[in-house]
Amino acid sequence: MHDASGMTERRTIDHIPEDERHGAPINQFTLWFGANLQITAVVDGALSIVFGAEALTAIIGLLIGNILGGAVMALHSAQGPHLGLPQMISSRAQFGVKGATLPLVLVIIMYLGFAATGTVLSGQAINLIAGVSHPAFGIVIFGALTAIIAVIGYNLIHTIGRIATVAGILGFGYLAFRLFTSYDISAAFGQHPFSFATFLLAIGLSAGWQLTFAPYVADYSRYLPSSTPRAVTFKATLLGTALGAQIAMTFGVLVAALGGKFLENQVGFVGDLAGPVFAILIYLVIVAGKLTVNCLNAYGGFMTILTAVSSFSDQHRISPIARTLYIAGFVALSVGIALLASADFLATFKNFVLLLLVVFVPWSAINLVDYYLISKEYVDISALYDVNGRYGAYNRVALGCYLIGIVVQIPFLNQAIYEGPIARALDGADISWIVSLIATSLLYYLLERRRSA
């Protein structure tokens, strides 16, 4: 639903009726391709080299992780056209109307963390474009752009995704050309022997990257007509997210393996690689890519906050003014973190945010197992807003399985702030997400089938 201008979205966490459905699955490809072909994904790929992986091993591992994590993420995307609901609202069918608040709080923290770190990088690019040295200038400008686009909503976010896709293909195509003509690419390979631990690490880096999209991916497919085939939505989303991320991460592997100064100054490095003539255009490509994903964070963050608040009230629609205030508040908080944080703090905060990925695997497992295997894609939409309805306030089985799915990961974790004993025994390999995905899925399936029988 839109206002008289036909631009600003009014729907929030309520169901999208059939007469307001529009769009095509190709928009899922361009949105997720544009959101992934960006500089933070380049950093994610470069980290595999920093942690000791051989370049070819890293590229193959990242590809496997992007496909596996992207497939899980795309299964959530396929729920959007069928349900016509934001992603986290649908999880009330598993956790209960109020019980779904537990993962919601952690999701909000993650959105803020990634929004803040993305704002810092984009602010640097804007400052270089404008020739301004004060970091606050670019950060505030980028925050304002994010807020405006997120307030206008769904259609404009998809438009920005299409722009970012074209800009990303041209920009990264040119950067790849410059990299291959300026460096001996063969020197990037064979620097380290094969290590199974670093191979698993590369898989985990990209799979974890993809899983961060799972809590809000259906937000951007929910306006598609309900007749849209599930398989088509799934394929369009998977191809866009996996391909965009793999291109960016492979670029990151190469620039890190070739000994460049990328990790010390990401924005400055790509500007220098582009050369003085095209540097500003590459900075614009960086801003376009980061703007796409930051709008996803702001829009998804707003939806998640509203979902959490509405679980303790009967409200599931809000006024345009309230919507604007929600989004502005979220963006202002992320900008505040970006402005006040030192470089060391941002690194620490980002590590904390990455550790929060452990909460998404069990949530995703429960949501997908229930939707596809137990409920057989049936959801009582009206009951999602009623604590006295069929889903109740809390589902103890789902909440218990969710907590177990988090705890079971601890011995397998290898994060900056904690390394589990089994991870140490595996030479640092982190397979926590695999263990949680399997354990949570099996446990929830068995217990929920028994409870529902």
Q: Where are the domains of the chain?
A: 23-355
Higher pLDDT residue, 174 or 357?
A: 174
Report pLDDT digits (tens) over 304-324.
888 888 888 766 677 788 889
Rounding to the nearest 10 degrees, give the CA dihedral for residues 334, 340, 343, 347: -40
pTM here is 0.92
The CA distance from 273 to 282, in Å, is 10
DSSP string, 8-23: SB---SS---GGG---
Task: Return the biggest CA–CA distance within the chain.
Answer: 68
Give, as one character, the DSSP assignment of residue 410: G
The CA distance from 122 to 40, in Å, is 10
Tokens of 156: 């404009």
Report pLDDT digits (tens) over 26-75.
999 999 999 999 998 998 899 889 888 999 999 999 999 999 999 999 99
The CA distance from 247 to 262, in Å, is 16
Report pLDDT digits (tens) over 109-167.
888 888 888 898 899 999 999 999 888 999 999 999 999 999 999 999 999 999 999 99
Give the β-pairing of 418-419 and 414-415.
Answer: antiparallel
Q: Are 217 and 77 in contact (CB under 8 A)?
A: yes
Distances (CA, A) of 290 to 180, 211, 346: 25, 18, 17
- Whether the predicted pLDDT of 3 surpasses 50: no
Tokens of 193: 């022997």
Q: What is the pLDDT of residue 347?
A: 64
- Region 197-212 average pLDDT: 90
Specify the fold of 23-355.
Hydantoin permease (1.10.4160)
